[in-house]
């Protein structure tokens, strides 16, 4: 049965079933409802059950590569602009997939004059001699599809020049909705005479490339992606966006809007993906030492327990499996931590969502970018927490990392609070699960386990770095001041909150997404490796 209703309308009438009885769903000023009802002349659109609602997806795979020539029909030149997190991965994946599909399409890299990234692009096969590497505006002017993958701050600064350089009839491609949010905040928009599409992998660029390479023998191995068609003047924008996602190796693609994407994405970075997990680890690290643990054991029971055990269970079995796998005594500890942490975490997460959806958080990033020359961003990996973490990783016993039930309760409560804020704002399950669960456990946390949470914050995109540094201390503070104090003072477990967790419909949605996941786990190397992971 084809799904034709706007998913937000369904969620608006059922959100109360997802949240604890003590928390009423709330409306937000910005409409973020994803369309999630689309058709394609090239790719099979499948209906999937997401926790009792029907959503539409396109399942990716290398078996779809023969369809790429038709999806990219009319595209002869693709310009990948930038060399940050997403650009190297997307450019290489596109080049490899289009070559394998027999497409006569040139993929070029466009960089600013004098960029140090020219040499990095040459190292992976792009070159001036082959006419696949050049100055950004020259490449933009040649391209039928301009994939603008420079930083958010650079997009905000250079959008007028980019639009002016694009040739008539070219398509603008994005992998984040930030530029739309910025344009709306200043009362502007995209030129009306162009197609504007987005394909947004739900993981950082190195994961997009690494899983693509690891999965060459596994059909559909990669990072899930959302796609959005913001303007479709040609009538072909949907199929082009889907072809882009297939060429990246996405196991499945779901529809969103640029507004919904930037709200959920910027929000998620400040929440469980980066900011919240940073604050959780810092607060628990101190708490466990106060309880008598050594610094090394405190780090193992906090950070290592999350990145080395808890997220692995969530990745393959779902969120509730963390709780279900505990013995009775540990379930009580989990419930105490979860019950005490859910509402304090949700308070901060709702504030973050309001700041993002109102445009305030985008303005914060822009203002920070204007201060960057005067106040350079320093690294945050010098504190005791992350210095001890380096020592722990050097002597790590991967097979004996504990699953601390208190840590699990705090982490899962924060993840569930993030999920509930998104659901109450009308985001569809596919977007909620990918932004709050899959991106955390299948993309970011493996790298955190490899190099540390602080390393991830120090090396992520400017937008994510700005937000995670801003909000991590808030999670640290509120958990320490409200959640842990409630546990220590013997506050009874809120049975309504625990019941809402146990019976939450999102568990079925996570299971549905796990079933679409390829049987390839990302491999990021050994903890002792000195090879840098370039994320920004």
Please confirm, yes or no, whether 176 is among the known catalytic residues.
yes
Give the Å distances, CA to CA, from 314 to 419, 420, 478.
14, 17, 25
Query: Does 536 count as an annotated binding residue?
Result: no
3-class DSSP assignment, residue 228: strand
> How big is the chain by its Cα radius of gyration, in Å?
22
φ, ψ for residue 169, nearest 5 deg: 85, -5
CB distance 333 to 410 below 8 Å: no
CB distance 123 to 116 below 8 Å: no
Give the Å distances, CA to CA, from 130 to 101, 155, 363.
20, 27, 40
Strand partners, 199: 227
Beta strands in 68-220 (DSSP E): 77-81, 106-111, 133-135, 145-148, 171-174, 195-201
Kindly report the number of other CB atoms within 10 A of residue 469's CB atom: 18
Strand partners, 59: 252
Query: Does 131 count as an annotated binding residue?
Result: no
CB distance 356 to 266 below 8 Å: yes
Residues recorded for the chain: 536
Pick the catalytic residue: 176, 427, 449, 504? 176
Query: Does 265 count as an annotated binding residue?
Result: yes
d(CA 526, CA 454): 18
Strand partners, 48: 55
Give the Å distances, CA to CA, from 411 to 10, 48, 408, 437.
28, 28, 5, 11
Positive or negative torsion for Cα 426, 429, 431, 435: positive
Query: Does 381 count as an annotated binding residue?
Result: no
Tokens of 443: 């993309």
d(CA 468, CA 485): 24
Packing angle of the helix pair 328-357, 495-502 (nearest 10 deg): 80
d(CA 305, CA 225): 28
CB distance 36 to 3 below 8 Å: yes
Query: Does 424 count as an annotated binding residue?
Result: no
Residues at the binding site for Mg(2+) are 265, 269, 435, 439
- Residues designated catalytic: 176
Residues at the binding site for substrate are 461
Residues at the binding site are 265, 269, 435, 439, 461
């Amino acid at each position: 049965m084809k799904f034709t209703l706007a998913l937000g309308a369904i969620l608006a009438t059922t959100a109360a079933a997802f949240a604890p009885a003590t928390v009423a769903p709330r409306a937000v000023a910005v409409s973020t409802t994803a369309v999630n009802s689309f058709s394609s002349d090239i790719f099979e659109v499948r209906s999937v059950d997401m926790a009792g609602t029907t959503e539409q997806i396109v399942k990716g795979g290398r078996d779809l590569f023969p369809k790429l020539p038709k999806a990219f029909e009319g595209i002869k030149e693709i310009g990948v602009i930038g060399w940050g997190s997403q650009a190297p991965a997307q450019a290489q994946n596109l080049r490899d997939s289009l070559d394998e599909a027999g497409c006569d399409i040139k993929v070029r890299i466009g960089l600013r004059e004098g960029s140090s990234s020219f040499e990095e692009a040459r190292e992976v096969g792009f070159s001036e001699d082959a006419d696949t590497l050049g100055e950004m505006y020259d490449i933009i002017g040649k391209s039928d599809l301009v994939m603008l993958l420079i930083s958010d701050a650079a997009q905000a600064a250079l959008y007028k020049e980019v639009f002016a350089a694009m040739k008539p009839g070219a398509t603008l491609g994005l992998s984040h909705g930030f530029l739309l949010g910025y344009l709306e905040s200043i009362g502007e928009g995209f030129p009306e005479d162009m197609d504007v599409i987005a394909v947004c992998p739900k993981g950082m660029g190195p994961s997009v490339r690494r899983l693509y390479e690891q999965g060459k023998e596994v059909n559909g191995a990669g990072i899930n992606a959302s796609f959005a068609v913001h303007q479709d003047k040609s009538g072909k924008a949907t199929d082009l966006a889907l072809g882009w996602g297939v060429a990246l190796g996405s196991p499945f693609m779901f529809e969103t809007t640029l507004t919904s994407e930037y709200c959920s994405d910027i929000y998620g970075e400040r929440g469980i993906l980066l900011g919240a997990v940073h604050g959780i680890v810092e607060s628990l690290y101190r708490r466990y030492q106060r309880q008598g643990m050594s610094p090394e054991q405190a780090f193992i029971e906090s950070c290592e327990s999350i990145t080395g055990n808890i997220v692995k269970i969530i990745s393959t079995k779902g969120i509730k499996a963390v709780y279900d796998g505990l013995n009775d005594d540990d379930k009580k500890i989990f419930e105490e931590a979860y019950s005490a942490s859910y509402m304090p975490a949700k308070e901060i997460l709702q504030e973050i969502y309001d700041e993002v959806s109102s445009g305030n958080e985008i303005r914060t990033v822009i203002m920070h970018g204007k201060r960057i020359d005067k106040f350079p961003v320093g690294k945050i990996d010098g504190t005791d927490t992350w210095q001890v973490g380096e020592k722990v990783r050097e002597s790590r016993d991967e097979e004996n990392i504990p699953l601390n039930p208190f840590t699990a309760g705090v982490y899962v409560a924060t993840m569930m609070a993030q999920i509930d804020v998104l659901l109450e704002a009308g985001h569809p399950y596919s977007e909620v699960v990918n932004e709050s669960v899959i991106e955390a456990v299948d993309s970011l946390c493996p790298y955190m386990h490899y190099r540390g949470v602080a390393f991830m914050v120090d090396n992520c995109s400017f937008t994510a770095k700005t937000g995670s540094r801003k909000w991590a201390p808030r999670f640290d503070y509120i958990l320490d001041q409200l959640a842990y104090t409630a546990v220590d003072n013997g506050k009874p477990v809120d049975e309504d909150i625990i019941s809402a967790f146990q019976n939450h419909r999102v568990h079925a949605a996570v299971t549905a997404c796990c079933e679409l996941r390829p049987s390839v786990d990302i491999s990021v190397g050994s903890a002792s490796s000195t090879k840098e992971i370039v994320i920004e």
